[in-house]
Amino acid sequence: MMSDITYREATADDAASVARVHVLSWHKSFKGIVPDTFLEKLTIENRTEHFRKRFADSFYKMFVAETLDGQVVGFADGGKPRHDVPYDAELYAIYILHELQGKGIGARLFERVKDFLIAQRNTSMYLMALEASPYRPFYEKMGGRLVGKKQIKLEDVDFNAVIYGWEKLVE
């Protein structure tokens, strides 16, 4: 089955497909963790617009995993840091449809973003995630080290976030 998954650089034309993966993943993975009102406002329509705008940034890059029939089933993206941290670049996100998680798709997408960031002469990167995220073991498996914590707000509710760092992208 995993040989039926291909990987490629995404374009603005992928925005709606990526938004679908993003929204479905949040609804499945974070129900009961974040406020329902936050999840209700997280729609494919508004996320499509968000992703479409991101492609205009020259330092932004996204990669998608898709089935042979062209259905996007996962994505990862990265670019310039959005927070005041001592890292060259940020891994913004990795999302895989729930039913395909644990099959190596995330690791392959992670490597593509990492390779892009290295090609842009970055030597380090970080990722911010909710402390309650069920995906923290994945970040650790990929070599991320817990380097900090931060408070963030979702629907006026304070959440603890954690920062994972990769000090050396190239060994």
Summarised one tens digit per residue, pLDDT across range 61-94 is: 999 999 999 999 999 999 999 988 999 999 999 9
pLDDT of residue 57: 84
Centroid of chain to Cα 127: 9
> Count of residues for the chain?
171
Residues 6+ apart with CB under 8 A from 151: 158, 159, 160, 161
Does residue 35 or residue 171 have the better pLDDT? 35
CATH class of 2-119: alpha beta
Provide the residue ranges of all domains of the chain, joining segments of one domain with +: 2-119
Contacts of 1 (CB under 8 A, 6+ apart): 103
What does the pLDDT read at residue 156?
81
| Distance separating alpha carbons of residues 102 and 56, to the nearest angstrom | 32
Alpha helices in 30-159 (DSSP H): 36-41, 44-54, 105-119, 136-141
pLDDT at res. 59: 84
Residue bearing the bigger pLDDT, 135 or 153: 135
How does residue 2 score in pLDDT terms, banded at 50, 70 and 90? low
150, pLDDT greater than 70:
yes
Q: What percent of the chain stands above pLDDT 70?
A: 99
pLDDT tens track for 6-57 = 999 999 999 999 999 999 999 999 999 888 988 999 999 999 999 999 998 8
Res. 1: pLDDT tops 60:
no
Which pLDDT score is estimated for 47? 93
**Across 146-161, average pLDDT:** 89
- Written as six digits, the tokens of 53 are 């705008």
